[in-house]
Amino acid sequence: MKVVVTGAGGMLGTALVPALEAVGHEVLPLTEQDADVRDLTALRYPLTAFHPDWVVNLAAYTRVDDAETHADAAYLVNALGARNVALAAAESGAAVLHLSTDYVFAGDTRSPRREYDAAVPRTVYGVSKRAGELAVAEVHARHLIVRTAWLYGRGGHNFVDTILRKSRAGESIAVVDDQHGSPTWTRDLAAQLIRLMASSQFGTYHVTSSGECSWHEFASHLLALAGLPPPSRTDSAAFARPAPRPAYSVLSNLLAEYVTGRRMPTWQDAIERYLQESRSS
């Protein structure tokens, strides 16, 4: 199988490209410098030349707070860019996989969100990502839209590495306990994305680690595994930001796990394996 990956230089791309190659797929990784998703013409040439079976769109404007005052910049990547990738994929005869986010939901419930629950984003970032989902579904029937949340891994700034770095530097750490989600290792997400692509059962799916915790619970578990002091506890009011964070970001993995036949690892198992890999590298 031949796969184009846009946004390949990011954290998930760093995990997905080698995972695809490891199972025998031919991959064309595209960074923003190679093909800007905002430019449909720039996307058409590499896809036409490569003749992919799949195009995976990981390109995204993810600066959640900046999006509140730079809405056009967020929309150009997250909505128009997603539409362009889907159009270029359709023109080249490829299916498309588009990555989305828990931010398409309001985060004001206390039960895991399913794929067809009402999307009611509360931030510009979330609205722009929802617009991208709708655009992909509108222009390309052979699509996978995969929502995920709370990612960490190599190749980008993330909560895990930041907490470890600050703790090892002797900084005091306060972590919120009123936001709940499912911390997800990019390597586990990449493996499930490949299984979904192999299924060719198109539609919308949720993929995160199994289980849920607060950021404080996650940080406490992480630091205990690393033999470092626990963080103090605080709440979201202490970290006022332009864009409100969802209080409850847990997504139901039921549909993806049914289709692939593979249950996602727990967040506790995932972080232990991530730390083991980090120590051995």
State the catalytic residues.
125
Contact 36, 57 (CB under 8 A): no
The β-bridge partners of 97 are: 56, 144
Q: Is residue 62 a contact partner of residue 237, using CB atoms and an 8 Å limit?
A: no
- Looking at residue 81, what DSSP letter applies? I
212, 182 Cβ separation under 8 angstroms? yes
Does residue 204 sit in helix, strand or coil? strand
Phi-psi region of 62 (alpha: psi -120 to 50; beta: other; left: phi over 0): alpha
**CB distance 265 to 257 below 8 Å:** no
d(Cα 245, Cα 249) in Å, to the nearest integer?
A: 9
Q: At what angle do helices 11-22 and 186-199 cross, to 10 degrees?
A: 50
Q: Are 186 and 11 in contact (CB under 8 A)?
A: yes
